[in-house]
A and B are shown apart, each in its own frame.
Chain A
Amino acid sequence: MEDVKIGVYICHCGLNIAGTVDCSAVAKYAGSLPSVVVSRDYRYMCSDPGQDLIKNDITRLGINRVVVASCSPRMHELTFRNACQEGGLNPYLYEQANIREQCSWVHDDKKVATEKAKDIVRAAVKRVYFHEALEVKEAPVNPNVLVVGGGIAGIQAALDIANGGKKVYLVEREASIGGHMIQFDRTFPTLDCSECILTPKMADVGHHPFIELLAYSEVEEVSGSIGQFKVKVNKKARHIDESKCVGCGVCEQKCPWKVPSEFEMGLGKRGVIYIPFAQAIPNLATVDAEHCVYIQSDGKKCGACIKFCEAEAVTPETLLNQSDQIVELEVGSIIVTTGYDQFDPSVISQYGYGKYDNVLTGLQFERMTCAAGPTGGKIVLNSGKEPESVAIVHCVGSRDQNYHEYCSRVCCMYGLKYAHLIKELANAEVYEFYIDMRCFGEGYEEFYKRLSEEGVNFIRGKVAKVTDRAISDEEKGKLMVVTEDTLLGKMIRVPVDMVILCAALEARSDADKVASLFTLNRRADGFFLERHVKLDPVATPTDGVFIAGCCEGPKDIPDTVAQASAAAAKALSLISKGTITLESAIANVDETKCLGCGRCEEICTFHAPKVVSKNGVMVSSINETLCKGCGACAVVCPTGAMSIRHFTQEEIAAQVGALTELS
Chain B
Amino acid sequence: MEILSPYKEATDVILEAGGEPLRLCYQCGICTGSCPWNLVRSFIVRRIIHEAQLGATDFESEELWLCATCRACVQSCPRGVEIIDVMRALRKVVTELGVAKVPDALRLSVKNISGTRNPMGEEQEKRADWAKGLNVKPFTEGTELLYFPGCYPSYEARDKGIALATVSILKKAGMDFGILGVKESCCGELVRKSGNEAVFQSLVESNIRVFTETHVKRILVSSPHCYNTFKNEYPDFGGNFEVIHSTQLLLELIKEQKIELTKELNRRVVYSDPCYLGRHNGIYDEPREVLKSIPGLELIEMPDSREEAVCCGGGGGRIWMETKKGERFSDLRLKQAIELGAEVLAVACPVCMCMYKDSQLSVDKGEAIEVKDITELVQEAM
Contacts and interface: CB of A to CB of B under 8 A. Distances in A.
B79 interface: yes
A466 to B, nearest CB: 11
Contacts of A482: 33
Interface of B: 26-30, 32-34, 38, 42, 44, 46-47, 76, 78-80, 303, 307-308
A586 interface: no
Interface stretch (A101-109, A288-296, A457-465, A615-623): A457-465
A464 B47 CA distance: 16
B52 to A, nearest CB: 15
Contacts of B26: 435
A461 B44 contact: no
B80 A401 contact: yes
Interface string A488-517: 011100000000000000000000000000
Assign chain A's interface to a size class. Answer: 20 to 34
Interface string A439-469: 0000000000000000000001111110001
28 contacts: A349-B308, A395-B78, A401-B79, A401-B80, A402-B76, A435-B28, A461-B28, A461-B29, A461-B32, A462-B29, A462-B30, A463-B33, A464-B33, A464-B76, A465-B34, A469-B303, A484-B29, A484-B32, A484-B38, A484-B46, A486-B27, A486-B32, A489-B47, A490-B42, A490-B44, A491-B32, A491-B33, A491-B44
Given A401-B78, A435-B28, A484 B33 contact: yes
B33 A462 contact: yes
Contact of B28 (A402, A469, A486): A486
Interface of A: 349-350, 395, 399-402, 435, 460-465, 469, 482-486, 489-491
A402 B32 contact: no
A464 B46 CA distance: 13
Given A435-B26, A484-B44, A465 B33 contact: yes
B308 A483 contact: no
A327 B378 CA distance: 66
B307 A349 contact: yes
Contacts of B28: 395, 435, 461-462, 486
What 8 A-B pairs have minimum CB-CB distances, sorted nearest first?
Answer: A464-B33, A484-B32, A400-B78, A462-B28, A484-B29, A462-B30, A486-B29, A461-B29
A482 B79 CA distance: 20
Contacts of B34: 464-465
A460 B294 CA distance: 48
A349, A400, A464, A483: most-surrounded residue (chain B CB, <10 A): A464
A491 B42 contact: yes
A280 to B, nearest CB: 39
B63 to A, nearest CB: 12
Contacts of A350: 76, 308
Contacts of B38: 484, 491
A464 B77 CA distance: 10
B303 A462 contact: no
Given A461-B28, A462-B78, 11 more contacts: A349-B307, A395-B28, A435-B26, A464-B30, A464-B33, A464-B76, A465-B33, A484-B29, A484-B32, A484-B38, A486-B32
A490 B38 CA distance: 10
Contact of A461 (B33, B79, B308): B33
A493 to B, nearest CB: 10
A146 B88 CA distance: 59
Contacts of A469: 303
Contacts of A485: 29
Contacts of A349: 307-308
Contacts of B44: 484, 489-491
Nearest to A435: B28
B28, B32, B42, B47: most-surrounded residue (chain A CB, <10 A): B28
A400 B75 CA distance: 11
B29, B32, B42: most-surrounded residue (chain A CB, <10 A): B29
B26, B76, B78, B303: most-surrounded residue (chain A CB, <10 A): B78
Contacts of A489: 44, 47
B195 to A, nearest CB: 25
Contacts of B30: 461-464, 483-484
A402 B42 contact: no
A350 B32 CA distance: 14
Contact of A483 (B27, B29, B47, B78): B29
Contacts of B32: 461, 464, 484, 486, 491
A465 B307 CA distance: 13
Given A349-B308, A490-B44, A491-B42, A399 B78 contact: yes
Contacts of B79: 401
Contacts of B307: 349
Nearest to B79: A401
A292 to B, nearest CB: 40
A353 to B, nearest CB: 15
A402 B74 CA distance: 11
A263 B28 CA distance: 34
Contact of B46 (A395, A400, A465, A486): A486
Contacts of B33: 461-465, 482-484, 491
B105 to A, nearest CB: 27
